[in-house]
Structure formats: structure tokens, C-alpha cells
Chain A
């Protein structure tokens, strides 16, 4: 069987989880497990009015594909999707979608987890907070915990 090519998109508009799962699994009988992850914008108890997502066009897609290809190889995934939004995103709205498909559940869980851990620390995206009192807030600081999460896959 040929190695599957992941679906990678960087877009301003929203995505539809069910539609993306259907696109990945439709017409196939080799998939026994699909794990999806959706990251949303938190309101931080009313303090946040929106996030501004900046990205490095071109490199963002390339890096997401590289990460998804690594996951496909490492966990023998039969399919993977990664979609990341950019621009202004308000509390409650979607930011990122990762789907991993495999014959069995462990590979699908691990694949989705792996893709997210690497996406957080290696894909060129940056979040800026806009706070509810109208002032432009600060750039979000990278967390050590995210680097540690990535290190567990070594």
C-alpha cells in the first residue's frame, strides 16, 4: 500500500469537523479508528475579546506537512488532516483541527497527539491577545510545558 499523503490547509475561514472526517474516510474500508482534535479560542473568564493569529505563509504549510508525514510514518497512519486558521479568532471559535486515521485506535490516538505536540512548537504561528477593555494585548509567550510535551516523543 502506498504511503498516504496528509491533507494540510492554512485558512482564515472556519472548518467543519464532520466534513473533514468524511473526506478522510469516505469510500474506504481500511480505517478502523479516527481520532480528531479541535483547538478552540478560550475566553479567559471574559478578559479576552479575540486572538490574532499570525503565520509564515508557505512555511506554515510546509512545516505542518512535514509533521503529519512524520506521524504517518511513525504510527503507520492510513490518513491524516491538519487545518490551522489565521487572522482574528474570537472566544468559542475554532483555531486548529487535527485528524488521524489508522486501522486501530492506539495508532490514531498517538498520531493525533504527536501531530498536535509538534504543531504547537514547530509550525510558524503566533498568537496575540486582544483584551476585552479594547486595548491591544500582548503576544502569547511560548510555554516550557509545550516543549516538554514534544520531548516525550524522542
Chain B
């Protein structure tokens, strides 16, 4: 499936781009799978996603847990813990 990935804050800086469209293999089912898959795409991804436990993910602009399935996602946001307010 094809999905639009959007990165923020230090995840964006480490990967070196703000967004991209990627084609995902069928083996990528959950958010966890997605993060593992992305880590294999190159050194910059590995650096950005080195500690997947701290990474937050939103599917279609809604927060999700890492065991959530990504089927039906048009847009997946990947970012560090939030520090607004």
C-alpha cells in the first residue's frame, strides 16, 4: 500500500525530510512493523527511529498505539513526544 508519511521535530531533522510517499510491503501491518521497516531504509532512518518506544505516531491525524493496524491510513505522522503548551 501507498501511504504519505509526515515527520516532525527531531524525527524530521534526522530523516532529513518533512514528508514522503512510500510504498509499503504487505508484511507491514502495524505501526510497530512500519517503524521497523523504516529503520531498514538507511542510516538516517535508523538514527531517527533508534528508540522506537519514545516515537509517537498518528494515523490520519489521530494518536495511535504501536500495536494499531495501519490499514486504511492515508497519512501517518511520526514524531517525538510533544512539548507544547
Instruction: Report A61 CB to chain B, min CB distance, Å.
Output: 9
Which A residue sits closest to B84, measured CB to CB?
A125
Instruction: Report B62 CB to chain A, min CB distance, Å.
Output: 8
**Does A56 lie within 8 Å of B58, measured CB to CB?**
yes
Q: CA A31 – CA B58 in complex, angstroms? A: 36
A side interface size, CB within 8 A: 28
Q: Mark A131-149, 1 if CB is under 8 A from B, else 0.
A: 0000000011110001000
Chain B residues with CB below 8 A from A120, complex form: 82-85
The answer, among A62, A96, A126, for a CB contact under 8 Å with B79, is: A126
**Does A62 lie within 8 Å of B61, measured CB to CB?**
yes
A–B pairs, 17, beta carbons within 8 Å: A53-B84, A54-B8, A56-B58, A59-B77, A62-B61, A63-B63, A96-B85, A116-B85, A119-B85, A120-B84, A120-B85, A124-B58, A125-B85, A127-B83, A139-B80, A140-B83, A146-B85
Extra A-B contacts (10), CB below 8 Å, given A56-B79, A126-B8, A139-B80: A59-B62, A84-B85, A96-B85, A116-B85, A119-B85, A120-B84, A124-B8, A124-B77, A126-B83, A142-B82
